[in-house]
Structure 1
Amino acid sequence: MNDHHAFPFLREILLFLILAGILIPTLQRLRINQVLGFLAVGALLGPFGLGALAVHTPWLSFLTFPAGPGISMLAEIGVLFLMFMIGLELSAARLWSMRRWVFGAGSAQVVASATLIGAALYLYGLPGQAAVILGLVLSLSSTAVVMQLMNQQHSTGTRLGQAAFAVLMLQDLAVVPILILIGALAKGAGDGNDALLLAAITLAKAAGAIALIYLVGGRVVHPLFRAFARQRQPDVFMALVLLATFGIAALSAAAGLSMALGALIAGLLLAETEFKHEVELMVDPFKGLLMGLFFMTVGMTIDTGQILDAPLWLATFVLELVLIKGVVVALLFRMGGLPWGRAVEGGLLLGQGGEFAFIVIGYAATSGVLDPALGARVMLAVGLSLFITPLLARLGTAIGDQLETRGEQLAAQHDHAALSAVRGQVIIAGFGRVGQQLGKLLTAQKIPFVAFETDARLVAQLRADGWPVWFGNAARPELLRRVHADEAPAIVLTMDQPLAALQAVHGIRREFPHVALFARSRDEKHARDLRLAGASVVVPETLEASLQLSSFVLGAMGLEERTIDAIVDRERALSAAAQLAPQPMAGPL
């Protein structure tokens, strides 16, 4: 078969699929961040790595990606689907539910970071236009890397995780005006007021084009999906998803905008329909593959040889980038109510450059708005910042824990006399809604208690209202000894984080084996884990809610109150017995 009849770029596609099939399970098994793994492989096998040797060593061409149109094609597909998946996550309802953090802290982070970074670059001698573009681009962090790290650490449900996610959502949205701005600057290239006027006109036209695509697309995409979804054919549904992605990307390109921006709009449009979750299920099996495709092609564009050419410049650039963004994020998180320890951890977690830098800088370089050599060097610095992110995350956790411990120690020293006087009182760990309700009941019965809470702002508010609540983590043995936990009639865990509650039960039971320990659980499985860890009594939220609802329903059906109480008590006893029952073995002996 002649070469011109062969499937185009077949070798590149097969090599990528082989690498993905090996890399994804290997990285998962070794607990290595997949984004960094694909970046490293792309840099190693790309045209600036072993691919450069393929010219002189022909057999390497079968194992590498030399420079050529094949890489560009893979990169374009990777960019489109990355932007589409991000748009799918940015539904209006989700943004609105977190609007205080998204539009408050997120907007402040982008503006403050972009201003400081742009000003620093301008002082270093960069032209004003380049400083503005790079300031905006470098203010963005890596959604893919940060979210994967938080998933591995099980911290997405914490206050820090929610705050970081909200800021990342705003950064993803900020890509739209940044891409429009670059397009406007490209068309308005020139000198004087005429260039500024042309750029402003182009910016207005681009904004109008996006609004038109969004409005018309919403009127077309939704009815189209609704009409064809009636057939319940997965292949038709997948075809519609691909049509929406590539079709709107093509419309965006026809309007003079980037195709990546069109793919983001396609995701935003589908996120507002009732088919959002079905689309997510359809795309989910390919999500890791498509993310790997994007980051591997990003790795191929990184010229690692530049590290040897300017090691000091790169190290200084990365350090200053992390420092500026880390300080900005930490201050904003602290203003948002997070304790200093968690705020500093968030700053280091979001201190790196983002994957959008590779998209935006590449677009700016090809548009003539940014010097290609400068863009390549900045992309290398961003790539290096991504590689050190896991290290920064671990450093942030260590510093955060240290600051939190020091804060608890200072609070304990400050309130030493008051805490030392606490004897024979109920100890409540976690003073949110459940803890406060328990506190009201104990107060009404004149039963003394002391509570601990890790939310500094909530502690300040409750203490101002006269509640006996103190800042601190009640899972710490030294803090419990301070309040004479060995003499407490009961310790009650009302914290809503399953992992934190389980760790607290382990620690408390190890230090105070004879104290009555009551715990709130998320569900039956969590209740069983807490019981096995040593909790005296565990109350599952789902069980009590269902029993209370059932009692009302049975009462409405005419059953006597005594009969209802007996039924509810029996179900509660069966649940408690199930928590204590031994679990079956996973397989034969």
Structure 2
Amino acid sequence: MTGYFIQAFIYLAAAVVMVPLAKRLGLGSVLGYLIAGVLIGPVAGMVGKETATIQHFAEFGVVMMLFLVGLELHPQMLWKMRHRLLGLGGLQVVVSALLLALIAWLLDQPLSVALAIGLVFSLSSTAIVLQTLNEKGLTKTEGGQNAFSVLLMQDIAVIPILAFIPMLALPELVEAARDMQTTAQHHESLSLVAGLPTWAYAGAIFASIAGVVVVGHYLSRPLFHYVANSGLREIFVATALLLVIGIATLMSLVGLSPALGTFLAGVVLANSEFRHELESNIEPFKGLLLGLFFITVGAGINFTILSEHVLLILALTLTVMLVKAAVLWGLAMLFKIRNSDRWLFALSLSQAGEFGFVLLSYALQNHVIPPETVSLLQLVVALSMFLTPTLFILYDKVILPRYQHTSNQQAFDDIDEQGQVIIAGIGRFGQIVNRLLIANGVHTVVMDLDATQVESMRRIQVKAYFGDATRPELLHTAGIEQAALLVVAIDDRESAKALVHAVKQSHPGVKVLARAFDRGHHYELKHAGADVIVSETYHSALHLGARALTCLGFAPEVAEQKKRAFRETEKAASEQLYDTWQHGSEGQQYDHDYRKLFIQTEEAIRAAMQADKAGEQSQDDVTKQG
């Protein structure tokens, strides 16, 4: 027992130290787990033969991952994304697999092995790419959204790949495995369909799939309602695990991939009211088991093979990444992904993915790829993932600045109209202002420096111009001299402040209404001369606070009265706060006097709330006496 505790401590300690460090360095959690495995395995020799046994157990994390992927795939969402999924994603998987299989075949691999290798390397790293896109704020870009579509298709493609790989088994490997078959392996090969004729085997498979759909759609809800009514969270967790393990077992007993069944169950339950609860319960187990799986992969890397074939492994890694990048670039051109988004799309998906380790292990178990080849290819997968952060750095530091420079050189639109109101910025804030004014018959002229945003507005028939509102000549063309109002909704704080100051200096008769990001920005805009300033979150937060009071039992009219008292009290103190801020020295606007006054304002708000409460109480007393 002590030995198990020691091994568990080693694996967990390696993960706790290396994964946060890898994320801080921008390498991602998957690489952190791989590095941790390398350190405790080949480098330090702290783990040994038990690694392979643990890896078989940890592979169940992949089954859980595909269940969670299925939960996210609403049928409606899949239908809306069908063109990108089947077109862009499907072509990427098929073309990449065929080209890489051709290269493997030219390198004297048997055709079945070459096909398996092509399928393994056609997939990219969902964990690394999505995490990096999110960290760098690239998720909403055209390149990021198309990369997500391809990754989603790749996750779906894992299912047929898992079903197809056993058909590629090499007879000589199967025969060798039979000679070495152990009793344990015999028990693992339990089957409900062994010896059945083909028609009966096909019927069993269809019946199993139909059973998963029926149970997921009709029987799971009553079961979850029954368990939820018990009020015991641990039983709900047990039920979620029971569902996943039960379906995986059924699929294994009929000779199908466990991942296929759990993925299908996830899709069936995607519209269930218990979806979020299932996700929150399964996610920790999935994350822990997947992390353990990646550690065992790192611990199992054979450094002897790496040292003996370092040039071959490096050449294979670069070949895989270049072929995939070329395919992605061609598809980006075909699907009209432009400029820096094309580079982001091609570079972000050019590596092999975490499923590569899973599929290689699966191919080894099913006697498709020889053990020595699997060891070599695992190093190729790992090295390509290690190189991925470098590609994102290349995109950030070299490619993106070039396109930003080109975009800045793009000629501004010719503004051929003048409006009563000029709106600078057509983001989420400026859009609402513009829609309200247009709906009431007010003629507006809208400008934005983001060409993509302007194009998006034009697609929904909202007239907008690509231009920099801080440029005096563009404001003149838009009719600033005759305009009644200028609405400043620019996303850049400094540009917004400079625009307000410039317009109030040159056109003092124009009223300037500006959006502030926070209290400090509010003061800066007021100092620059803005006539009306609205903090973008203030009113919505105040409204939500009032709704929170009603949810806690306050009467709606009382909550509205307290909201009004809060607003009036803060408004009364705002001038004093602004004066104190304004007279502070540069960099010290929030000095001791300002902080003291702010605290006094908070006390005044609490006092107003208490006075309001006392007023309500006295009114109640009068009512009772009456």
Give the shorter-chain TM-score range: 0.7 to 0.9
SS at match of 2:273: coil
Gap change, CA 1:96 and 1:421, over 3 Å in 2:
closer
Q: Look up the match of 1:462.
A: 458
Equivalent residues, number? 526
Q: CA deviation at 1:493?
A: 3.1
Q: Look up the match of 2:6.
A: 11
Q: CA deviation at 1:156?
A: 2.9
Q: Deviations over 1:398-457 (max 9, x none)?
A: 344234224314522xx69x489999994633478954972895796556554443328x
Q: Look up the match of 2:388.
A: 389
What runs of 5+ residues in structure 1 fail to find an aligned partner? 1-5, 52-62, 191-199, 495-500, 551-565
Q: CA deviation at 1:69?
A: 5.0
Task: Find out whether 1:405 has 2:381 as its counterpart.
Answer: no
Gap change, CA 1:88 and 1:202, over 3 Å in 2:
farther
Gap change, CA 1:234 and 1:188, over 3 Å in 2:
farther
Q: Look up the match of 1:296.
A: 295
Give the conservation status (yes or no) of the 8 Å contact 1:345–1:399: no
**From 190, 206, 209, the counterpart of 1:208:** 206
**From 23, 29, 38, the counterpart of 1:34:** 29
SS at match of 2:350: coil
Residue identity in the other structure for 1:384 = L
Give the conservation status (yes or no) of the 8 Å contact 1:431–1:453: no
Q: Deviations over 1:312-365 (max 9, x none)?
A: 322232223222323333454555564311221122111111111111121112
Distance 1:577 1:329 in 2: 59
Q: Look up the match of 2:178.
A: none
Q: Look up the match of 2:611.
A: none
Distance 1:290 1:532 in 2: 51
Residue identity in the other structure for 2:224 = F
Distance 1:206 1:407 in 2: 60
Q: Look up the match of 1:150.
A: 133
Q: Look up the match of 1:44.
A: 39
Q: Look up the match of 2:349.
A: 350
Distance 2:289 2:120 in 1: 23
Q: Deviations over 1:185-239 (max 9, x none)?
A: 349999xxxxxxxxx9999679736633532441443332222221121111111
SS at match of 2:59: helix
Q: Look up the match of 1:60.
A: none
Q: Look up the match of 1:558.
A: none
Between 222-231 and 381-390, the greater mean CA deviation after superposition: 222-231
Give the conservation status (yes or no) of the 8 Å contact 1:425–1:448: yes
Gap change, CA 1:371 and 1:215, over 3 Å in 2:
same
Distance 1:187 1:222 in 2: 44
**From 101, 111, 119, the counterpart of 1:118:** 101
Distance 1:286 1:185 in 2: 32
Q: Look up the match of 1:236.
A: 235
Q: Look up the match of 2:450.
A: 453
Give the conservation status (yes or no) of the 8 Å contact 1:39–1:299: yes
Distance 1:110 1:240 in 2: 35
Q: Look up the match of 2:362.
A: 363
Q: Look up the match of 1:255.
A: 254
Q: Look up the match of 2:494.
A: 506
Give the conservation status (yes or no) of the 8 Å contact 1:87–1:268: yes
Gap change, CA 1:400 and 1:568, over 3 Å in 2:
farther
Distance 2:476 2:334 in 1: 33
Distance 1:427 1:107 in 2: 43
Give the conservation status (yes or no) of the 8 Å contact 1:442–1:449: no
CA RMSD of aligned residues (A): 4.8
Residue identity in the other structure for 1:506 = E
TM-score (norm 1): 0.73
**From 380, 405, 425, the counterpart of 1:429:** 425
Task: Find out whether 1:95 has 2:72 as its counterpart.
Answer: no
Distance 1:241 1:221 in 2: 10
Residue identity in the other structure for 1:276 = R
Distance 1:332 1:298 in 2: 32
Between 379-388 and 122-131, the greater mean CA deviation after superposition: 122-131
Q: Deviations over 1:359-397 (max 9, x none)?
A: 112111221222332222222111111111111112123
Q: Look up the match of 2:186.
A: none
Gap change, CA 1:584 and 1:97, over 3 Å in 2:
farther
Give the conservation status (yes or no) of the 8 Å contact 1:528–1:579: no
Distance 1:74 1:365 in 2: 16
Aligned residues with identical type, % of pairs: 30
SS at match of 2:410: helix
Distance 2:233 2:332 in 1: 44
Distance 1:10 1:220 in 2: 40
Q: Look up the match of 1:71.
A: 54
Q: Look up the match of 1:563.
A: none
Residue identity in the other structure for 1:170 = M
Gap change, CA 1:568 and 1:346, over 3 Å in 2:
same
Q: Which has the larger radius of gyration?
A: 2
SS at match of 2:424: strand
Distance 1:7 1:84 in 2: 34
Q: Look up the match of 1:176.
A: 159
Distance 1:575 1:343 in 2: 49
Between 233-242 and 10-19, the greater mean CA deviation after superposition: 10-19
SS at match of 1:38: helix
Distance 2:460 2:62 in 1: 52
Task: Find out whether 1:164 has 2:131 as its counterpart.
Answer: no
SS at match of 2:144: helix
Distance 1:485 1:189 in 2: 81
Task: Find out whether 1:493 has 2:489 as its counterpart.
Answer: yes
Gap change, CA 1:211 and 1:454, over 3 Å in 2:
farther
Q: CA deviation at 1:27?
A: 4.6
Give the conservation status (yes or no) of the 8 Å contact 1:527–1:579: no
Distance 1:37 1:242 in 2: 27
What runs of 5+ residues in structure 2 fail to find an aligned partner? 174-197, 505-511, 547-560, 578-589, 600-626
Q: Look up the match of 2:90.
A: 107
Residue identity in the other structure for 2:226 = A
Q: Look up the match of 2:115.
A: 132
